[in-house]
């Protein structure tokens, strides 16, 4: 099996996460989107709403995990994959462990707050009670480009 055929389903779901990120962008929030998937079904989706809700916890991943738990009626999400356009921060990586997702697949690296591989590796810390598989760099260019465009626009607006 080729690497391309292995990556195909991940790319498909990351495109859904990118559409969520675009919703955040359009609303003036940092463009991060997330979806929680089990098998061929989306259990939950979310996009950053920190600015809109004036809530520092309203990250795409938290909203997607909350929606997925509401869909399943369960507090844990075994056999589920969290797709997110930006490497999760410590809060979101911790929430993924607590929700017991099976896998995190993310697009762009986060040099300032990444807690899945860049600054920390919370999901794979063996001291914790759950281990989460991680796949980085899926649709990385598209994910990073949306973020760069957003911040470039923000800087131009502030000038």
3-state DSSP call for residue 103?
A: strand
Is-catalytic flag, 141?
no
CA 9-10-14 angle, 5° bins: 120
| Residue among 8, 39, 148, 30 at smallest CA distance from 92 | 30
- Asked if 118 contacts 111 with a C-beta cutoff of 8 angstroms, the reply is yes
Q: Which of 4, 20, 51, 61 is catalytic?
A: 61
CA–CA distance, 67 with 38 (Å, rounded to integer): 13
By annotation, the residues acting in catalysis are 61
């Amino acid at each position: 099996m080729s690497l391309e055929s292995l990556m195909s389903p991940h790319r498909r779901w990351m495109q859904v996460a990118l559409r969520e990120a675009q919703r955040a962008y359009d609303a003036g929030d940092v463009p991060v989107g997330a979806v929680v998937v089990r098998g061929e079904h989306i259990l939950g989706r979310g996009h950053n709403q920190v600015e809109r809700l004036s809530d520092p916890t309203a990250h795409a991943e938290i909203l997607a995990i909350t929606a997925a738990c509401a869909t399943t009626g369960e507090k844990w999400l075994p056999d589920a994959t969290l797709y997110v356009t930006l490497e999760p921060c410590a809060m979101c990586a911790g929430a993924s462990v607590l929700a017991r997702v099976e896998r995190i697949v993310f697009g762009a690296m986060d040099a300032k707050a990444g807690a899945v591989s860049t600054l920390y590796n919370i999901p794979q810390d063996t001291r914790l009670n759950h281990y989460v598989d991680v796949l980085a760099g899926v649709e990385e260019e598209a994910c990073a480009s949306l973020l760069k465009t957003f911040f470039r626009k923000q800087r131009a607006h502030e000038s």
